[in-house]
Amino acid sequence: MRLCDPREMTDADWPAGSARLRAYVEAFAREGAERFIANLHTTVRVLRGDDWVLPVTINDADYDNTYFCSPYTAYCPYAKEELRLIDSAAARAALGFVADAAGAMLKAVHINRIVHVNNWMLSTNLYPAKADLPVAGIADYLAAHFPDHFICFRSLNTWSNAALLRQFAAARYWLVASRQVYCYERLAETWARTLNAREDGRLRALSQYRVVDGAGLGESDYVRMAELYRLLYIEKYSQHNPVFTPHYLQLCHQSGVMVFFGLRGDDGVLDGVLGLFTIDGVVTAPIVGYDTVRDRRLGLYRLLMALTYEFAQRHGHRLNLSSGAAEFKRLRGGRPFIEYSAIFDRHLSAGRRAAVSALRTVVNGLGVPLMRKLRL
């Protein structure tokens, strides 16, 4: 097992099938994370085993980071924003107090002094299909190299990572819930048979938008693609979401890290963009954006999601649609699963371990029932 700087790796250091990852991490390591994700500060490395290679990010603080590399952001300011979904003002106030207290505790134990493994710097990190990743060995190796850092794997759920979650538990990682995600398989039997899927299909048939694939997108589109993403995920939802730049979209498009689709109007203007990321038969949609000032009756979000479902069904993939728009996803056959982060801290002080244990108790004991009750 070796931790490598992508800029120093040779062809022999990369196993077969890792061309996408190589292009991705080499760009981040060479040009800096901020060029690609404006509100992300991190150091990108690669962890190399005998027949596998995983992207790694290393942080020491950066409490203003997007949540990809900042547990503090995920569990405190971002979580507080989600409280707007709760009707009771008293409950919002009480939970806001809990989030503030958790934030103070996590800062005190330097929670953002952390190494994330298999961190593609996406909302949903997909994992290789093999379930025998040596998570205990990875913990020992990274703890020896980073004796003052937490070790973390994000985006784990029982739908696609059941065996891996058991390995994490056996290796004495904490499994801390993060959110509820919506997943699909056998789309011809589930999604395609729903009333909403049929209605979306009729909308697609009647829409004046022209669907373009990656070949129909180019240099002149990257700025607009970034703007469409920003309109939805930053301006409509949260400043804590990643701010993908035009350079990022260009990197993912030209390297094949993602498969892209766009919606062009009769005037040639791009009004919707979709970027799909796939590993070993599971697909997710980290890039979704549309012109939020357009007439809602155009159904831009529905059109983009229809393209996502159709892509997954056409290729025989399973689909993880992450969190958000929960009712929309349920009505189209999505099943909810709690997502976890696996955090290793056995090499750290008792005080820092106690803080993660307390976080797990609060989030798993209070947050999970709340997510299920509110159908988030």
| Confidence at residue 80, expressed as pLDDT on a 0 to 100 scale | 84
Alpha carbon distance 191, 185 (integer Å): 9
Q: 161 with 336: CB under 8 angstroms?
A: no
| Confidence at residue 33, expressed as pLDDT on a 0 to 100 scale | 97
Question: Does the pLDDT at position 198 exceed 90?
Answer: yes
Query: What does the pLDDT average to over 323-332?
Result: 95
3-class DSSP assignment, residue 78: helix
Give the residues across from 259 on adjacent strands: 276
Give the residues across from 282 on adjacent strands: 279, 318
Structure tokens at 214: 């990656």
* % of the chain at pLDDT higher than 70: 100
Question: Does the pLDDT at position 35 exceed 80?
Answer: yes
Alpha carbon distance 243, 173 (integer Å): 30
Determine how many CB atoms are found less than 10 A away from the CB of residue 201.
Answer: 14
- The pLDDT mean for the chain works out to 95
Residue-level length of the chain:
376
Structure tokens at 137: 């060995």
| Confidence at residue 169, expressed as pLDDT on a 0 to 100 scale | 97
| Confidence at residue 90, expressed as pLDDT on a 0 to 100 scale | 83
Q: Tell me the Cα Rg of the chain.
A: 20
Residue 302: name the closest of 198, 199, 200 by CA: 200
pLDDT band at 86 (very low <50, low <70, confident <90, very high): confident
Torsion, CA 38, CA 52, CA 159, CA 68, rounded to 10: -20
- Any idea where the domains of the chain sit in the sequence? 2-181+340-373, 184-335
CA 354 to chain centre: 27
| Confidence at residue 289, expressed as pLDDT on a 0 to 100 scale | 98
Question: Does the pLDDT at position 87 exceed 90?
Answer: no
* % of the chain at pLDDT higher than 90: 88
| Confidence at residue 109, expressed as pLDDT on a 0 to 100 scale | 97
Q: 75 with 83: CB under 8 angstroms?
A: no
Question: Does the pLDDT at position 213 exceed 70?
Answer: yes
Q: 53 with 45: CB under 8 angstroms?
A: no
6, 32, 113, 150, 279 from 43: Cα distances, Å: 11, 8, 12, 15, 23
Alpha carbon distance 217, 219 (integer Å): 7
140, 154, 325, 373 from 136: Cα distances, Å: 6, 16, 36, 34
| Confidence at residue 131, expressed as pLDDT on a 0 to 100 scale | 62
| Confidence at residue 185, expressed as pLDDT on a 0 to 100 scale | 96
Q: DSSP characters for 155-184?
A: EEEHHHHHHHHHHHHHTT-EEEEEEEEEEE
pLDDT band at 15 (very low <50, low <70, confident <90, very high): very high
Q: DSSP characters for 189-246?
A: TTGGGSHHHHHHHHHHHH--PEEEEGGG--GGGHHHHHHHHIIIIIIII-TTS--B-H
Q: 253 with 217: CB under 8 angstroms?
A: yes
Q: Over the stretch 128-178, which tens digit does the pLDDT of each residue have?
A: 987 679 999 999 999 999 999 999 999 999 999 999 999 999 999 999 999
Query: What does the pLDDT average to over 204-208?
Result: 95
Candidate CATH numbers 3.40.630.30, 3.40.50.720, 1.10.1040.10, 1.10.3720.10; the one for domain 184-335? 3.40.630.30
Q: Over the stretch 246-284, which tens digit does the pLDDT of each residue have?
A: 999 999 999 999 999 999 999 999 999 999 999 999 999
| Confidence at residue 317, expressed as pLDDT on a 0 to 100 scale | 97
Question: Does the pLDDT at position 89 exceed 90?
Answer: no
